[in-house]
Chain A
Amino acid sequence: MKNIFKLIIVLLFSTGLVTESKAQLFGKTKCKSFATTYALGLLDTLQYTPNGRYTALKLYDGDEVRMFKTISRDLDYRAVVALSNDLPEKSKIQILDFNHKVLKTNEKGKRSLVWDFTSETTQRLIIAIKIPAHKDENIEQTGCVAIMFGVKK
């Protein structure tokens, strides 16, 4: 049922019948607020200057997201990937190198990952987020994900 609902919404978008509903706009605003308050707090702006860009997305259970980030050599970075509490506790956050080697994973039961690192070379990292599907397909879980990078002052 849940998948049928998602499919209908996608079809409505693709046929141009619906642009963004108020509910979706609310979701976007909520996720932006989550990013600029909670995730920014984890970044700790006293120690790290935010790089000036952020990602805030609304995710559903069963969703998988991959983002890329080019990191520059010899800068001291803090990466923050945060999920809101309405997403399942078993959600997985991973940071991988471009050969898909896992460099960092969130701790079991933690919905956020804060990682301080530096790289000897400029390279692209992959940020992978996997929200497990709910066992009961009639129950839908949605929440926000925020991704931010900061550079040490």
Chain B
Amino acid sequence: MKKTIFRFFLSLFVVVSLSGCTTDTNNSDTTNQEVDKEQIDLQELMNQIKPIIYALPSPVETAMMFENAKVGFNETILNPVSNMASYSSSHALALNLGIYSADLSYISLYEQSQTAIQYMATTKKMADKLGILDAISEETVKKFEENVNNRSVIMNTISQTLLNTDSYLEENYRPEVAALTVIGGWIEGLYIATQLTEKSLDSNEDLVNIVIDQKISLTDVISLMAPFKSDEMKEIDKQLKKLKTIYDKIEYSTGIVETEINSDDNQTTLKSQSNIKVSPETFTELCTEVEQIRNSFVQMN
């Protein structure tokens, strides 16, 4: 009881203190209220989008999906590091930070040490330009370079940089940058998958499944855009909704989930079946639309 009463008076004290600090002039009072309002709006936005970001597959998961699908490496589909110099607006920087992070995760599956080092350096520069301080430190880059042939260390380092970026953007209330970084990474993963299928439904079945399964995530990606009202964000929202009209042509359902536990390693398998119906034309249309969206992102400045 004492503790609760103490906290109640403490909160009143905080309010009184804050009020007391802002009584100099009417102008400064208004300005401070505006700043407070803006800060609260950003906090609320961050709280709103954080669970959606969490729900989506990360670039690390996407890379692991590619590994399972046993796909080859194709450098020509990456966003060239030379494009970095053209990004100056925060929208272009945030989207392409996500794109470069996804490229880096993909590269790291293969023995492409020089390319991996270049993309890590580019990702760091993009984070620096966005003012995401210490997300990727000099030590991290050095550790990456020294262990570039050790895949386990490389993947852990990428995971750590994603975690640092996510954490920094949350703590500093930058919801728009956080959302765009995630969308950039998601679309790049999808773009890599669609390019590797060569837009054909007859391609590697696992790759085709990666593309189609993103129907589930697209709903979250669109929800992520919903709270933002700027023209740039509305344009991206429009592109994603157009993509959804194509995904809507795909019939997708999942059956009842049964669990099976392996007594040797205590691992559970969630057994279920998905029922997918998609025409070759729809699949090609989908891949082409993904290509257009992704290219519009990398050409942004």
Total inter-chain residue pairs, C-beta < 8 Å:
169
Decide: A52 and B18 in contact? CB cutoff 8 A. no
Interfacial chain B residues near A5, Cβ < 8 Å: 4, 7-8, 11
Complex Cα gap A104–B54 (Å): 20
Nearest B residue to A55, CB-CB = B54
Q: Given the known A-B contacts A21-B14, A69-B55, are A153 and B152 also in contact in the complex, defined by CB atoms under 8 Å?
A: yes
Decide: A50 and B60 in contact? CB cutoff 8 A. yes
Interfacial chain A residues near B55, Cβ < 8 Å: 67-70, 124
> Chain A's interface: helix, strand, loop or mixed, by majority?
mixed
Interfacial chain B residues near A124, Cβ < 8 Å: 55, 216
Which chain A residues (36-89) contact chain B, with CB distance < 8 Å? Answer: 36, 45, 49-55, 67-70, 72-76
Decide: A116 and B40 in contact? CB cutoff 8 A. no
Decide yes or no whether B266 CB sits under 8 A from chain A: yes
Nearest A residue to B7, CB-CB = A5
Identify 12 residue pairs between A and B in the complex whose beta-carbon atoms are under 8 Å apart, listed by A's number: A1-B5, A8-B8, A21-B11, A49-B159, A51-B57, A75-B64, A103-B268, A116-B267, A121-B272, A123-B257, A151-B61, A153-B152
Known: A28-B171, A99-B256, A103-B270. 19 other contacts (CB 8 A): A1-B5, A16-B36, A17-B18, A18-B14, A19-B39, A21-B11, A49-B152, A51-B61, A52-B158, A54-B54, A54-B163, A67-B51, A75-B68, A97-B270, A103-B268, A118-B267, A120-B272, A121-B274, A124-B55
Please list the residues of chain B having a beta carbon within 8 angstroms of any beta carbon in chain A. Answer: 1, 3-5, 7-8, 10-11, 14-15, 18-19, 33, 36-37, 39-40, 43, 50-51, 53-61, 64-65, 68, 151-152, 155-156, 158-163, 166-167, 171, 206, 209-210, 213, 216-217, 220, 254, 256-257, 259, 265-274
